Structure 1
Amino acid sequence: MVTLNIEHDTNGDNRPDVYDYIENPGDKMLTEMLQELIDNVELCRRGIGSRRRALFLMGGSGTGKSTALLHHFRRMPEFQPRVNEYGETVRPLLSLEAPKPCGTKDFAVAILDAIGVPSKARQTEGELYATVKTQFRERGIIFLHVDEAQHLRRHSSSQAILDVQDRIKTLMQIADWPLHMIFSGVPDLADLLKGGDGQVKNRSLIMRFVPLKLPKDRADIQRVLTDIVEGKCGLMLPEELRTDDFLGRLCWANNGSFGEIVKAVQAACFLAMSKGKDTVDLRAFAFNYSRTSGCLPSDNIYTAARWSEIDPDNSVADLWTPEKKGRK
């Protein structure tokens, strides 16, 4: 079981750090949606809240959704631990990673494990969820974040999905307790929103983290490159890395995934600094890509003439075992 430790960001000397958070293009909308959940908690306590008590955040691997969530959890005070009137520390946010596989009973056990409450194998699913609800109230947990939430989709059958939806719905309807839920995961997570007469979808806010593309997202890719190379690493950025051609290669090599683009720029900077250089160049990106993709030299997206015709997902396709043909 993986749980996340949420604390305020600190940078006491105010110096730029290479691992400082890089603003994601989806941050503005994400902030607005999280604030909507926060505001709705207070409205629910007054009996006038919206029934939309869940946020589904979906995007491909490496798009930066989990990093963005963690950043905002640390930044927004409503998610932070506080001391109540009895001197007890209350942690309003419980953040966990869904195990795999994760049936509805597994989900309840995972929540209790994250809280630190032991469960018994002989407990029924109903008993487990009753304990979960009691623990939420007693511990003051009003936000539940489930990462890798697509694991809740253990089976693709409509009945299996309906079972998960029923459990999610019951958690959003705890008597006299305004629990709000945040689910993050890959696009398969969207299956939990289909069918069931919209019982989960109609109670949710939904946001996509989509891949970046040129020319639409040129400014965001350029910002990441400049911020990391010049601002955080103090290196020089040559003109050849400011061109649309290079930005296109950078985006294409990383499937447009924001988080992977950030990592690629950081890795190129680390390589340059390890060599004692004051400039990051194309060779650093090409070298790192060859090591992480295993591509043939002719298929290196940073150096190939017709790079847009290369599929980075097929970088080792020439080594794949051929499928055996059936006997005739």
Structure 2
Amino acid sequence: MSNDIIRNAAEKVAALRDHFIHHERFEPLEARFAMLVAKRLSDLDAGRSSEAHGLALSGPSGTGKSAAMHHLLAGVGQQLSTTRHWDAPIISLRVPSPATLKFVGYTLLRALGYQIGSERQAWYIWDLVRHHLKERQVLFVHLDEAQDLASRGTKHELNAVASMLKTLMTDPDWPVGIILSGTPELEDILNHDSQLARRMGSVA
């Protein structure tokens, strides 16, 4: 097989991967997120600082969750570009390994453009996260492979994750919507805390 044939085949495969096909699972996800965006923009325009809400997309590995979220966030980014909030970003990142709250906060700070030494304590890192989310006027944070946030499944770990997510959504100075995507184990985090579950819509 010639190099030209191999290269052409690779280009066609790459083009197919970039092509997103709407399907019945995507429609409720898109509709729910559109409602979250509309509420957030309405609050901003009215000068309100009411708590934000979130959305969770769960499903088995290989079912296209990451592609669906990428397409969804890209579409919302285009929508925001036509509003007065055109520069309000949506931060999207994959939960890093190891998926400790400290390292997640550290990675989120880097995504926000802020560098910090990893020797800092977790509470300090998350205080900085909240500060820079407000400074950057971030509307939503998307965490992919979010089931890894509580991979050990201990009560202490689940409590810490739920508390962190609720804190971001209820921050009185700058509430931020949380979007989670991951395998069905993600539901363990949501079901662990009734207050978190009340603030998170779920699409499976």
Does the residue aligned with 1:181 lie in a helix, a strand or coil?
Answer: strand
AA in 2 matched with 1:22:
I
Does the residue aligned with 1:146 lie in a helix, a strand or coil?
Answer: strand
**Unpaired stretches in structure 2, ≥5 consecutive residues:** 1-14
Provide the residue aligned with 1:59 in structure 2.
Answer: 59
Provide the residue aligned with 1:103 in structure 2.
Answer: 100
> Offset of 1:78 from its aligned partner?
6.0
CA distance in structure 1 between the aligned counterparts of 2:21 and 2:33, rounded to whole angstroms = 19
The structure-2 alpha-carbon separation of the partners of 1:25 and 1:84, relative to structure 1 and needing over 3 Å to count, comes to closer
> Offset of 1:42 from its aligned partner?
2.8
Provide the residue aligned with 2:186 in structure 1.
Answer: 189
Match of 2:154 among 157, 164, 167: 157
CA distance in structure 2 between the aligned counterparts of 1:62 and 1:26, rounded to whole angstroms = 14
AA in 2 matched with 1:207:
V
The structure-2 alpha-carbon separation of the partners of 1:78 and 1:39, relative to structure 1 and needing over 3 Å to count, comes to farther
Identity across aligned pairs (percent)? 27
Contact 2:146 2:186 in 1 (8 A): yes
CA distance in structure 1 between the aligned counterparts of 2:143 and 2:79, rounded to whole angstroms = 14
Contact 2:102 2:122 in 1 (8 A): yes
Contact 2:93 2:143 in 1 (8 A): yes
Match of 1:113 among 91, 95, 110: 110
Contact 1:52 1:204 in 2 (8 A): no
**Residue pairs, 1:284-303, within 5 angstroms:** none
**Unpaired stretches in structure 1, ≥5 consecutive residues:** 1-16, 209-328
CA deviation digits over 1:288-316, x for unaligned, max 9? Answer: xxxxxxxxxxxxxxxxxxxxxxxxxxxxx
Number of aligned residue pairs = 187
**Residue pairs, 1:152-301, within 5 angstroms:** 152-196=149-193, 198-208=194-204
Does the residue aligned with 1:184 lie in a helix, a strand or coil?
Answer: strand
CA distance in structure 1 between the aligned counterparts of 2:111 and 2:52, rounded to whole angstroms = 25
Q: Which has the larger radius of gyration?
A: 1
Does the residue aligned with 2:203 lie in a helix, a strand or coil?
Answer: strand
Instruction: Give TM-score, length-normalised by structure 1.
Output: 0.52
Match of 2:120 among 101, 120, 123: 123
Provide the residue aligned with 2:38 in structure 1.
Answer: 39
Provide the residue aligned with 2:4 in structure 1.
Answer: none
CA distance in structure 1 between the aligned counterparts of 2:182 and 2:28, rounded to whole angstroms = 17
Worse-matched range after superposition: 18-27 or 145-154: 18-27
Does the residue aligned with 1:172 lie in a helix, a strand or coil?
Answer: helix
Task: Please identify which structure carries the higher helix content.
Answer: 2
The structure-2 alpha-carbon separation of the partners of 1:81 and 1:93, relative to structure 1 and needing over 3 Å to count, comes to farther
Higher RCO (C-alpha 8 Å, min separation 6): 2
